[in-house]
Amino acid sequence: MNLLSLLILAGIIIVVLVLLSLLMAKQYRKVGPNEALIISGRKKTMTLPDGTKRKVGYRYRLGGGTFVMPFLETVDVLPMDVIPLNIKTAEVLTHGGVPILAEATAQVKIDSSDVAIHIAAQQFLSLGKEGIRDVALNVLEGRIREVIGTMTVEEISSISKLVAQAAVKGDKAARSIFAYEGRALATLVSTIARHLDMSKSKPNIYCTGGVFNAGPMLLNPFRRELRRNVPRFVLRHPRFEPVIGAFILALKEHDVKMQGVTLANLESSYTRHAVKIR
């Protein structure tokens, strides 16, 4: 074999090695820590929670990278990060037949256990992050409607106290609920102000109702959102609660004047018996 033949053979070997190296590099797949590689094509044995073993046609890699056998395996990516959800139901009838609208926030995430990833690979692999979000929304909305249907309005209202207690203790999810409600109330006030042509004036905004007892964690987002549409406003607290206001209006309908000493006496009496009234 002459020198030329040796050079040609060496060149062929180098080309083959380069091609193999490129193929190997291409088949090494990597994902971030919030993703899982699902590599299909070869059998793998997994252990179920009850201890039984089951063969599946894939393996997975949670974050990092792995080599995918060419021609024998295919690879897909399963999102593993937290997905926030904003849930809004249509009118739902409570146990007492009262229609209400329910809003909720939630966060969902695929668990990193073998069994959870096995189920997710079967159910969500072709859907992607948005598909997982849609499935979770439908399931949680249905569950909320089911729960509301078994509760009275009073029972539903009592949940807000538990959320308030959790928010005071610093629970992030509970505090986010109050922040969301603050923005929602501000949007409602802005809409009313715009329809009454008051958005450019300096309207008095009266904070009435138990929700404002949450204090700054509701009032701060309420103020920030309201300033976007009603730059000049004054927040005020009513002299009486709505039930006393309704009582005063009823007296006025019967030509009973509520002013001066009479109004002061009502205020004094209300202050003494506020706990009983509540």
Dump pLDDT digits (tens) for 110-131: 998 888 888 888 888 888 889 9
Q: Judging by beta carbons within 10 Å of its beta carbon (0-12, 13-18, 19+), is residue 257 exposed, middle or buried?
A: exposed
Q: Quick count: other Cβ atoms within 10 Å of Cβ 92?
A: 17
Distance CA 81, CA 61 (A): 15
pTM reported for the whole predicted model: 0.58
Q: What is the DSSP letter of 213?
A: G
User: What is the chain's mean pLDDT, rounded?
Assistant: 81
Paired tokens of 26: 């291409």
Distance CA 111, CA 123 (A): 14
Q: In the chain, where does DSSP find H-type helix? A: 3-27, 114-124, 128-148, 153-168, 172-195, 216-227, 242-253, 260-272, 274-277
Q: Is residue 87 a contact partner of residue 104, using CB atoms and an 8 Å limit?
A: yes
pLDDT tens column, 157-192: 778 778 888 888 888 888 888 888 889 889 988 898
Whether residue 80 is predicted with pLDDT greater than 70 in this model: the reply is: yes
What the chain holds in terms of domains, given with CATH numbers, is 3-79 (no CATH), 83-148 (no CATH), 156-236 (3.30.420.40), 239-278 (no CATH)
User: What proportion of the chain, given as a percentage, has pLDDT over 90?
Assistant: 6
Paired tokens of 180: 């969301």
Query: Per-residue DSSP letters for 41-66?
Result: EEEEEEE-TTS-EEEEEEEEEEEEEE
Q: Is residue 219 a contact partner of residue 212, using CB atoms and an 8 Å limit?
A: yes
Confidence of residue 278 (pLDDT cuts 50, 70, 90): very low
Distance CA 94, CA 175 (A): 26
